[in-house]
Structure 1
């Protein structure tokens, strides 16, 4: 499987997990709870781990730099697609969600949709970098036979 397919497949996995969790939270009336947003990092970690694991097992790539590239690529694309999902949700499904986000202590204040998206992208990229480094600590000294 090509590196690009692994990245896209697992980025979509991240988006589906984050989106599914949001829809479950919405159904339970918890979409305004800012603490639940921290769980998105877990979904990013799962997607990154799966991408690196696939790259190691299927492509026999055990080099740190190459797997780190897969990890970063997967997480960044996943975050960007998730942010696009937030934009679509606010613009076409629930415009009032912007005010819910504005009332969150994590956003705080009266921000525009573009400021919110910028904040989400920066927050997502930070979690992507941290998540990729966390996952790569596991894979840095392991060969294919050990994983």
Structure 2
């Protein structure tokens, strides 16, 4: 793996963890709608990872390498954040999943595991969608040489 993926993946995870802890300090961590701002953190990390990958590879940059940079970066960030949330939910605040599930899925309580699954799917889905969107900006131009008439 490239250092760009690791650097920005850890940056995404750190941003998500800091945001979660800040929201917790304000007592708003049980509001699932505030998770929308997680997308801004992930988007920023992916954008700058792909941008740096393009700057590093210069003329050798292609769609595949940019998309790979985004996917790997998002995957690393998601895995680290899910591990943090697992430690938080199982060891630091075991009542947190119950509070979230009571306000969110009253009829479907499956424990903290379902929340970790949702966070994982959220992270992977946003990574793929944002990477594909950003690659429209960063992809090399596909110019077709013109024939001389």
Task: Verify same fold: TM over 0.5.
Answer: yes
Measure how far apart 1:51 and its partner are. 0.8
Q: What CA distance in whole angstroms lies between the structure 2 residues aligned with 1:86 and 1:35?
A: 17
**Runs of 5+ consecutive residues of structure 2 not aligned to the other structure:** 142-149
Partner of 1:145: none
Aligned to 1:24: 22
Bigger radius of gyration among the two: 2
Cα separation, partners in 2 of 1:110 and 1:75, compared to 1, 3 Å: same
Counterpart secondary structure, 1:72: helix
Q: 1:36 aligns with which of 14, 34, 37?
A: 34
> Using the alignment, how far apart are the partners of 2:78 and 2:45 within structure 1?
11
SS, match of residue 30 in structure 2 = coil
Superposition map of 1:106-121 within 5 A: 109-121=108-120
Distance in 1 separating the partners of 2:31 and 2:112: 19
- Contact preservation (8 Å) 2:23, 2:29: yes
Structure 1 vs Structure 2 CA RMSD: 1.6
Alpha-carbon distance between aligned partners in 2 of 1:76 and 1:104, rounded to the nearest angstrom: 28
| Segments of 4+ moved more than 3 angstroms | none
SS at match of 2:37: helix
Residues 63-142 of structure 1 mapped to structure 2, 5 A cutoff: 63-105=62-104, 109-141=108-140
Answer yes or no: is the 8 Å Cα contact 1:52–1:71 preserved in 2: yes
TM-score normalised per structure 1: 0.86
**Equivalent residue, structure 1, for 2:144:** none
Q: 1:31-55 CA distances to partner (integer Å, 9 max, x unpaired)?
A: 0111110111111111111111111
1:99 is displaced (CA, Å) by 1.1
**Unpaired stretches in structure 1, ≥5 consecutive residues:** 143-147
For residues 104 and 133 of structure 1, the distance between their equivalents in structure 2, rounded to whole angstroms, comes to 33
Q: Specify the SS of the correspondent of 2:2.
A: helix
More divergent stretch after superposition (121-130 vs 55-64) = 55-64
> Helix, strand or coil for the counterpart of 1:11?
helix
Task: Give the Å deviation of 1:104.
Answer: 4.0
